[in-house]
Amino acid sequence: MRTVLNGEVHVRYGQIYVESAVWGYAMDEYFAGQSNGLCGAGAPGGLFLNTGLHTGYVSFRVEVLDAEPPTDDSWEDVVEAPFRPKATETLLVEWAGEDYWELDLEEIDYRVRYSAVGMDAARDQDTRRANDPGHDRYLLQFWPAALSPDHVIKQTSQIAAYWHDFARELPAPPSDEERVLLVDWDGRRHQIDEERLRQRVETSAWKGRLPSERLRRVGGNVMGMVTIDRDLLDELEAVPPSMQRSIARWAAYRAYAAAGLAEIGWVSRGLDALDQGRELPPPFDHIDRTWDALFEEEQVPHSIVSSLEGSVPYMLQQAMALPAIFAATDPDPLRAAVDSLYAAAATFGPDYRTLFVQLRLAFPLLTAHTPPPVREPDLLRGLLAQFPGIDVAEDEPRSGAGEGPEDDAGAGAPDGQKDGPDDGTGSGTREGVQSQPRPGRETPAEAATGTADAERAERAERADRADRAERADVRGALPSAVIPGARRPTSTSGGTTAVDRP
């Protein structure tokens, strides 16, 4: 047996990872198709490990063995999963890569056992400060073994049960037949294009619309934002960097105001520095000192908020808000906006939609870039259509499809022809092919009156508002009565200071 690590690791958002040349996978992709929700092994070359503690140090031990170890009944929650490294270097990695440990694994098949004790007590503790006792411990073991499905060996804690249910309720991942489908056609074997399958999986993870390369690379909490407001990501990417920076500062203030922190002296000074593009003053000059101040200062309130989806009822609201100010100083203005808004959304809890309504009122240029609804592409049917004799079942329509005018307009397109995106002219063309009006709908000539006239007027008015907003200082120009409690900056300079991200 070889002990790789025996000490404490720092977790954030209750997560730590094993990585070997793995990138770009959402949390759902790690756990889809599994029976356990503690050790996600669905992404090639990677593991996603959940902990009971939300933020702080936990006891963690990693062992590499020659054969399967005996089970130890002292552990309360135990799961197993398959794993095979995809590179010569395999690392145990903290959130955002803050620290890592080389595991020195061969590129062979392994069985992984992830054992835990004290998860519920750590979940109730939520955040562990420097002098607080620790409640949860973890053991991660690897040994050579043929790949086989994951398995829950023992489940005791409520938080483990929650994560197991989360994994079991996820949509099934692409089957082996979809990943590598061989079709005998004309005496030859043809393999489905892996890139098209990758796009299908990615499209599903990104809620039906493939991201731009910019969004793929932005990192941070981008996949968290996908789950709560996919359109907002495209809207944020489309606005100028200066507005992204202003949105980040706005979100940080909204988070701190919702948590009752904004008017506390040292917090207010930090928000002022953020608005003015100056270095953040103490205790914001170091993340650990900021956490200490949050828990030790008597004037700091302590209030409870549920998680975004409402499944975790007792989360410290001030802890949810704290990362927003650090996120707003990220050198990348798009990532600053994404991460600050996600922290603010977590602060609002299930009421985060109210925050996003306020955001779009404060920054109307966002709504000028709202993308149209899309249908998830059926890549497999398109490929198999060329092989005679193979039946392909009709897909269920995506949730929400066919409900809006855009979906209705494309519902009657002939086989093999799709209505194209609206180019603003009302032509509805795609690659020069004129869409045919459906019976009972307006023809292009009739569209000059009635509803079509009103829609064009509304689009023109929206574009005019967006143009005015882009030329104005939106934050300063917005009446404070529109957004209750809105903070008016003393400066909107673009200077920022890079600090440790939470």
Specify the range with the lowest mean pLDDT, choosing from 10-14, 173-177, 273-277: 173-177
9 neighbors 58 (Cβ within 8 angstroms): yes
Task: Give whole-number Cα distances, 423 to 105, 255, 356, 430, 437, in Å.
Answer: 53, 37, 27, 10, 16
Q: For residue 217, which phi and psi values (nearest 5 degrees)?
A: -90, -5
Residue 399 counted as domain residue: no
* Assigned domain for 46 exists: yes
The tally of domains found in the chain comes to 2
Which residue range forms the structural domain that includes residue 265? Answer: 205-371+468-477
Q: Would you say residue 332 has pLDDT above 70? A: yes
> What CA–CA distances, in Å, run from 109 to 17, 93, 340, 502?
18, 20, 40, 34
Q: Are residues 302 and 209 in the same domain?
A: yes
Are 131 and 238 in the same domain?
no
Whether 458 maps to a domain, the answer reads no
**pLDDT computed for residue 458 by the predictor:** 59
Give the mean model confidence (pLDDT) for residues 299-320: 89
Q: What is the mean pLDDT of residues 433-453?
A: 39
Is the pLDDT reported for residue 71 higher than 50?
yes
Which of 164-173, 315-324, 437-446 shows the lowest per-residue confidence on average (mean pLDDT)?
437-446
Average pLDDT over residues 122-134: 93
Element (H, E) at 486: none
Handedness of CA 256, 261, 267, 268 (dihedral sign): positive
pLDDT band for position 377 (cuts 50, 70, 90): very low
Asked whether residue 402 is assigned to any structural domain, the reply reads no
| 198 against 398, higher pLDDT | 198
Residue 300 lies in a domain: yes
Same domain, 209 and 171: no
Euclidean distance between the first and the last CA atom of the chain, given in angstroms as a whole number? 35
Q: Residue 469 pLDDT more than 90?
A: no
Q: What are phi and psi of 348, to 5 degrees?
A: -75, -20
Residue 45 counted as domain residue? yes
Pairing of strands 137-144, 56-64: parallel
* Residues ≥6 apart with Cβ < 8 Å to 140: 18, 49, 60, 61, 62, 63, 92, 112, 113, 114, 115
Assess whether 233 and 315 both reside in one domain: yes
- What is the C-alpha separation between 94 and 18, in angstroms, rounded? 9
**Same structural domain, 138 and 279:** no
Amino acid 171: pLDDT = 86
Highest mean pLDDT: which of 228-232, 364-368, 471-475? 228-232
Res 387 pLDDT > 80: no
pLDDT band at 464 (very low <50, low <70, confident <90, very high): low
pLDDT of amino acid 195: 63
Both 253 and 127 in one domain: the answer is no
**Residues 363/364/369/370 CA torsion (nearest 10 deg):** 100
pLDDT at 239 > cutoff 60: yes
Measured distance CA(204)–CA(200) in Å, rounded: 6
Mean pLDDT (whole number) for 390-403: 40
Identify the DSSP state of 308: T
User: Can you spell out the DSSP letters for 368-386?
Assistant: GGPPPP-PPP-HHHHHHTT
* pLDDT(114) > 60: yes
Q: Which residue has the higher pLDDT, 210 or 430?
A: 210
pLDDT band at 396 (very low <50, low <70, confident <90, very high): very low
Shortest CA distance to 492 belongs to which of 477, 475, 480? 475
Q: Read off the pLDDT of each residue in 365-390 and give the average, rounded to a whole number.
A: 56
* % of the chain with per-residue pLDDT over 90: 56
Q: Are residues 296 and 351 in the same domain?
A: yes
- Same-domain check for residues 224 and 282: yes
Cα–Cα nearest to 163, from 292, 282, 260, 77: 77
Domain co-membership, 141 together with 217: no
Q: What is the pLDDT of residues 241-257, one digit of tens each?
A: 999 999 999 999 999 99
Please indicate, yes or no, whether residues 226 and 145 belong to a single structural domain of this protein.
Answer: no
Q: Is the per-residue pLDDT at 64 higher than 80? A: yes
Measured distance CA(366)–CA(466) in Å, rounded: 8
> Does residue 8 have a pLDDT over 90?
yes
Residue partners of 204: CB distance under 8 A and separation at least 6: 171, 376
Q: Quick check: 5 pLDDT over 50? A: yes
Same domain for 279 and 157: no
Task: Specify the pLDDT at position 461.
Answer: 60
* 439 domain-assigned: no
Q: Examine residue 102 and state whether it is found in any structural domain, yes or no.
A: yes
pLDDT band at residue 97 using 50, 70 and 90 as cut-offs: confident
Q: Are residues 139 and 263 in the same domain?
A: no
Which CATH number is 126's domain given? 2.60.34.30
